[in-house]
Amino acid sequence: MDSIHKLQEIFANFPGIGPRQARRFVYYLMNKSPSFLNEFTKLVSEIKKSVFECENCHRFSAVADSHAKQTKCNICSDINRDDTTLLVVARDADLDAIESSGAYKGRYFVLGGSVPILDKEPQRRIRLETLLKHISDSENSNEENSRALKEIIISMNSTPEGDHTADIVRDALRRIKMDLKITVLGRGISTGAELEYLDKDTIQNALQNRH
């Protein structure tokens, strides 16, 4: 395969991008100046160095200080957040959408993906074991009862894959038998809706009407 087709194939694997759009991206790049392409490839090749994965919630954040090793993101390091709720999302983009709605002040956990229906190995798609460990660790570490984890809000896209992922997470949480309330977002969200594209009011309503 030549490099043009390889590039096309890479773009076609991007989330939400089909073969036709991938081809358009390649043509777009072909018409750009060498300096643009140098800047672009430099940014792409350094992306892993310019971000870090939070050891707690697993979201990616930009590295603020390249000399200090950061392990926790700004949300996890914020002592004013509500420790009693943990909101579980599939991807970083979902967390960003909920965070920018301003309707949620608790903690997060990013699963790192969702599970397609009929997938036989969900643990390879999402951080299920890490989530379970994270929950039992936070139960043990928070002696102070008023700050102990009380509720887990499973916040997935309103799609068959999102529902399926929510079922897997809920079943796994029930197996560990902890005294926690498990909720899902309210169905103010219409079927097929992806969290990433919802407006602030819809997210606020979905959180308020969680059940």
Contacts with Zn ion, residue ranges (CB under 5 A): 54, 56-57, 73, 76
In whole angstroms, how close is the CB of 74 to Zn ion at the nearest point?
8
In whole angstroms, how far apart are CA 150 and each of 104, 109, 198? 15, 15, 26
Nearer to Zn ion, 81 or 187 (CB): 81
Cα–Cα distance measured from residue 6 to residue 86, given in angstroms and rounded to the nearest whole number: 41
Backbone φ and ψ for 25, nearest 5 degrees, come out as: -60, -45
In whole angstroms, how close is the CB of 173 to Zn ion at the nearest point?
20
Cα–Cα distance measured from residue 61 to residue 53, given in angstroms and rounded to the nearest whole number: 7
Cα–Cα distance measured from residue 165 to residue 177, given in angstroms and rounded to the nearest whole number: 19
In whole angstroms, how close is the CB of 123 to Zn ion at the nearest point?
21
In whole angstroms, how close is the CB of 20 to Zn ion at the nearest point?
37
Nearer to Zn ion, 25 or 60 (CB): 60
Nearer to Zn ion, 73 or 166 (CB): 73
Nearer to Zn ion, 81 or 125 (CB): 81
Name the token pair of 122: 């969900």
